[in-house]
Every structure is written in C-alpha cells, then in structure tokens.
Amino acid sequence: MTASVRLRLSVLMLLEYFTWGAWYVTMGTYLITALKADAVQVGAAYANLSIAAIISPFFVGLIADRFFAAQKVLGVLHLAGAATLYLISGVQDFSSFWWLILLYTLLYMPTMSLANSISFRQMQDAGREFPSVRVFGTVGWILAGLLIGFAGVETTAATFRIAAASSLLLGIYSFFLPSSQSVKKEVCLSDILGLDALVLLKGRAYGIFFITAVAVCIPLAFYYSFTNPFLNHAGMANAAGKMTLGQVSEFLFMLLMPFLFSRLGVKRMLLLGMFCWILRYVLFAYGDSGAGAWMLYGGIALHGMCYDFFFVTGQIYTDRKAGDNIRNAAQGLITFATYGLGMLIGSYVSGFVAGRFSYLQTAVLHYDWRSIWLVPAAITGIFLLLFIFLFRDDKQ
C-alpha cells in the first residue's frame, strides 16, 4: 500500500467516525432537553442503530457486493445521510425524529462495512496495515467530541448539522477513493447471515462466550444512551469533549493488547473487561457530587479496558475459533449478536429502567441517577459470576 493510498484511507476513516461521533454521543441529551423526550423514548431512539446493524448485512451482501463499486455505494449513502441529518436538525417532535433517525441509521450502518472493505482491498497485509488506518477513526471520534464540547452545542440541533456537513464532505470524497469494483458473484443467503459460523456454537466454550456477549451488551446500552445526559446533570462542563478521554484510553490500551493478551489469555481478559464495566457503573453511581468528581473521570477513562478487553478480545477469540473458511461469517455473527441483538434489547431495557427511576418535580423531569447506574452494575455482576462458573474448566 503506497503512502498516498494510506493517506486517502486514513481520511476516509477519520470522516466516517467523525460523522458518527458528532451526533451519537449527545443525542440523549438533545432529546431530553430540546424535544422533552422521556427515558423510554431515548432508549427507543438509540435502539434504531441496533435495528440497522441487524439489517445492514443484507444490503451490503445483496447490493454492494454484487452490482456496484463499493466506493460509489459509500458516496451515495453518505450523501443521502447528509440530507437526512439536515432534516433531523429541523424536526420539533419525537415521532418525526424517531423515523428520521431510523432512516439515517439504515443509511449509515452499511457504510462501516463498506469503509472496511474498501480499505482491505488496497492492502497486502491487512493484519499489519489496517490498524494504522483504522486508528484514524478513533481520532475522528475524538475530534467530533472536542468540537461539540468546546462549541457548547451539546443540547442543540447544531450537532446534527455538523454531522450533516461531515457526511456531505465524505459523500463527495468517496467518489475519489481507490477503485473497489464489485465482485459480481452469486451471494447465498447463508453468506449474508453468517449462518456458516453457527458451527462455532457447537463448542461449549464458544457457546458460553456468545451468550455472555449478548447478555453483557444489555447493560452496556446504559452507557451509550445516558452517559452524556448524566454528566451534564452532574455539572460537568464540556461533557462531550471530556468523554473523548474514553477514546484516548481505548487507543492506549489497544497498543497494549498484544502484550496483555499473551500474558493473561482469553478468559482473564474477558473477565477483566466485565469487571471494569461493573466498576465504571459504580463510579458513576457514587460520583454525582463535587467531592466525587474524580469518580466521573475514572468511569470515563475505564472505557479503554471496558471496550478493548471484552469486545476486541472477543473478536480475536472468534477469529481464532473460526479459522480461514468461516472467518468473515464468524465476525458478522458476533457483530450481529453484540451491536445488533444485545444492544437492541439493552436500548429498550435502559430506557425502561431510567423511566422507572424518573420523577416530576416542579414540572421538570428528574432522574435518580444512582439507582439507574446500580442496575447495570448488578446485571453485569450476575453475568460475570455466571461466566466464571460456566467457563471455569476452559483453559484458554
């Protein structure tokens, strides 16, 4: 891969994740403050991304892989996404917002796979070259958070307009990416759904991991849906900007992954990742005060261990179990289980729980944040104990 191609792919990743990060982190805060949405509605809005994650493999498999060059499909989707984001910024009621954000996520989610596919086709050694390109996605997410935070627009529709501008730029830029012609092959339904990878579930150890991955994503949804509204409630200035500390942590722990993986192994890495999720929720539960501000920063900084030690380790574990023949199908299956099924359930559960611990006071909706955060801590703790018990005989 030449330096010119590397630069073009790096810009692709930066814009891809800048666009997502510009609206996703603060959507809950915007819905609560600007559209006066309740917790259940916030959860329903975030659930749309999981619905799109479930549906998007059909689109990529049936359309992008068969008929059109990937970079052209990417460009069209981002241009349509830019128009949709701009429309979202103008709606004043939750019902219209929900349908438009569903439309946008259906347009956006396939672009993640397409961006990866375009990158892989330009690489001779993806295992060595892809991380140095993909890391610019994390940089893009950080830049989006810093811009939104320092501009002070977390509670306004400007976040969607910023994302729309980024999507428009990326849509145009996509047509100038390296050519990635369609394969024009017959695609079986089993390929699209990753059904070939179901053979992995016959193994006891992987079956336990798979079920645990789905289960852990249920309490995980609390973090994505309600962290930004919570931090703003706690009085943290520039909450969106400071939340990028989590992505910095993710980047640093990603560099440590090869060393830790060889020392600790799969089981200990997964257990440590789950424990960090519990610790994060507990820190949030008891950090809602001036004296406990360090707990809030600690909970944010744990993102690297929470994400890398569970999700990245899980992807590596899946790759090891799958082998060459079903590698792509296996990664599709675990993505469906986590970001699709698990997060979909979790988005609705988190909305229900937050609604259960909300109350009206002087016509203003308030939340009992301590109780809200202790619920996912307890759920994750139960799954952690079950994981230890069921996985006790596995030596990996």
- List, run by run, the mean pLDDT of 10-residue segments along the chain (396 residues): 89 95 92 91 92 74 62 92 96 95 92 80 72 85 91 92 97 88 56 66 82 86 89 86 87 78 80 91 83 84 84 74 66 77 91 87 78 93 84 62
Strand partners, 359: 366
Q: What six digits make up the tokens of 26? A: 């603060």
Quick count: other Cβ atoms within 10 Å of Cβ 206?
A: 22
Q: How far is CA 326 from CA 189, 191, 210, 321, 333, in A?
A: 14, 9, 16, 9, 10
Shared domain for 91 and 70, answered yes or no, is yes
The pLDDT assigned to 62 comes to: 57
Shared domain for 77 and 5, answered yes or no, is yes
Shared domain for 235 and 165, answered yes or no, is no
3-state SS of the chain?
CCHHHHHHHHHHHHHHHHHHHHHHCCHHHHHHHCCCCCHHHHHHHHHHHHHHHHHHHHHHHHHHCCCCCHHHHHHHHHHHHHHHHHHHCCCCCHHHHHHHHHHHHHHHHHHHHHHHHHHHCCCCCHHHHHHHHHHHHHHHHHHHHHHHHHHCCCCCCHHHHHHHHHHHHHHHHHCCCCCCCCCCCCCCHHHHHCHHHHHHHHCHHHHHHHHHHHHHHHHHHHHHHHHHHHHHHCCCCCHHHHHCHHHHHHHHHHHHHHHHHHHHHHHHHHHHHHHHHHHHHHHHHHCCCHHHHHHHHHHHHCHHHHHHHHHHHHHHHHHHHHCCCCHHHHHHHHHHHHHHHHHHHHHHHHHHHHHHCEEEECCEEEECHHHHHHHHHHHHHHHHHHHHHHCCCCCC
CA angle 288, 289, 295 (to 5 degrees): 65
Shared domain for 146 and 204, answered yes or no, is no
Q: Which amino acid is present at 185?
A: K
Shared domain for 145 and 232, answered yes or no, is no
CB of 336 closer than 8 Å to CB of 57: yes
Q: How far is CA 375 from CA 15, 47, 114, 219, 222, in A?
A: 35, 19, 36, 8, 9
What CATH number does the domain containing 20 carry? Answer: 1.20.1250.20
Strand partners, 366: 359
31-56 burial, b at 16+ Cβ within 10 Å, e below that, comes to bbeebebbbbbbbbbbbbbbbbbbeb
Shared domain for 228 and 172, answered yes or no, is no
Quick count: other Cβ atoms within 10 Å of Cβ 156?
A: 17
Gap between the terminal Cα atoms of the chain: 35
Shared domain for 266 and 249, answered yes or no, is yes
Shared domain for 168 and 312, answered yes or no, is no
Shared domain for 62 and 207, answered yes or no, is no
CB of 162 closer than 8 Å to CB of 148: yes
Last residue of a domain, one of 184, 209, 240: 184
Q: What six digits make up the tokens of 309? A: 């030690």
Shared domain for 259 and 316, answered yes or no, is yes
CB of 216 closer than 8 Å to CB of 380: yes
Domain that residue 54 falls in: 1-184
Quick count: other Cβ atoms within 10 Å of Cβ 394?
A: 15
Q: Which residues contact 99 (CB under 8 A, 6 or more apart)?
A: none
Last residue of a domain, one of 184, 216, 239: 184
CA–CA separation, 242 and 161 (whole Å): 21
Q: What six digits make up the tokens of 319? A: 């790759």
CB of 300 closer than 8 Å to CB of 242: yes
The pLDDT assigned to 362 comes to: 65
Last residue of a domain, one of 133, 155, 184: 184
Q: Which residue has the tokens 């004043």?
A: 92
Shared domain for 144 and 276, answered yes or no, is no
Taking only Cα atoms into account, the Rg of the chain, rounded to an integer number of angstroms, comes to: 20
Shared domain for 22 and 45, answered yes or no, is yes
Domain count across the chain: 2
CB of 12 closer than 8 Å to CB of 177: yes
Q: What six digits make up the tokens of 295? A: 């707990």
